[in-house]
Structure 1
Amino acid sequence: MKIGILQTGHAPDALIETTGDYDRMFARLLDGHGFTFETYPVVDGVFPDGADVADGWLITGSRHGAYDNLPWIAPLEDLIRQIKAEGRPLIGVCFGHQIIAQALGGKVEKFDGGWSIGRTEYDLDGQPVTLNAWHQDQVVALPDGATVLAGNGFCRYAVVAYGDRIWTIQPHPEYDTDFIAGLIRTRGRGVVPDAQLDAASAGLDGPVDNAVIAERMAGFFKKARA
């Protein structure tokens, strides 16, 4: 099964040599499930010819906002709607989660409650899962037809499904401890309050459920659909 990765941002230059870019992180996360991957760096204006060039699609995270006036945002929203219309499975993570909601009629904004950084617990289908978060933007209004699968007191719409063909998640199952620590060093200081970064750093040694979400993502892509 070929997964097209719509890359909407790049890892920090200081980290990319050791971690790889965002597309490589997802390839590692989903390794062992028989997928092949092709990356389309839409953030750099590189788009696929259409929704039919891949069997499924994944939209990555980004430092940009879904509401930013950037030349690639509207074409990406058009592609999301095309993927939906053709019924191909689509997963969005962080920015991907947000831009899908926006493209389908929801609303994204810079959350006035601040940031979520580091290990964070969510209630997913009645079970606790812990994942690394890195966001201030949030989906604050859902499109019609959306179903909330996970959330917490800070982020109400943390995992959302649209029927059985679109599944989106706000935190980052592709981020490991070292990468979050690197983000704190390279992108956090001067942007996120120091006390919050210090607290996130102190909690990084705990476990995260990346493998649990990877299995869900792989199962979602492979699911038999009418």
Structure 2
Amino acid sequence: MKPPTAAQRRIIEAADPQTGRLSGSETQLTGLVRARLAFRHPRPPHACFLTPAGHRVREEGPALAPTPTPTPTVPEQPPPAASGAFAARTGTETAPPGAEGPARAREVRSAWEGLVELRRMTNPDGATDRPCAWERTHLVRAAALALEAAGCRPAGPGRAGYRVAETPQPEAVAVREPTPQGLRECGAALERAGWQVGEHAEPRGGGRYVLASPRRK
């Protein structure tokens, strides 16, 4: 995804701090929607609001705005790594994690707040206590974000923690954690995030796992 232009950043930074509603010309708003930094509400007046990616851009702040075009004597620098798309950690990554500590916590918090706002704007009754359509079509990513936002620890190279994986069942993911307490904490976190969960035994005595699916009511 291309980093937003300076004009797009100004519109994003001016968004309503509570709702993420955007103001701008039709051309500007359409550009943000095409860049997946905003979405249009399905009901009139079809206002535009920040997506989770748009909320992350606003969280980054002006410090990460594109630098001025360099003079011919200075080689152009590549865009900063922070301009890449946020990805919730599923615990199945093979590469070492990127940002950690407070920086990662800010990214996760911003992404979760954006997702809650997406629920409010796209669930027919405006409910924020249950998943929206986007989550039901991105099950692993949505469950991983709910877990990480709740403070659960994802697995990683040389590190124990939760792992989120697809299952053959429609609208369901499997969450595995090496300790019974950790597995219970993962299940409780997903329940608080609006998921239906159940603990199951692996075939042939292979331990236990949580099966989770987005709650509809």
Under a length normalisation based on structure 1, what TM-score does the superposition of the two structures give?
Answer: 0.27
More helix by share: 2
Q: RCO (CA 8 Å, sep 6+): is it higher in 1 or 2?
A: 1
More strand by share: 1
Q: Which one has the largest radius of gyration?
A: 2
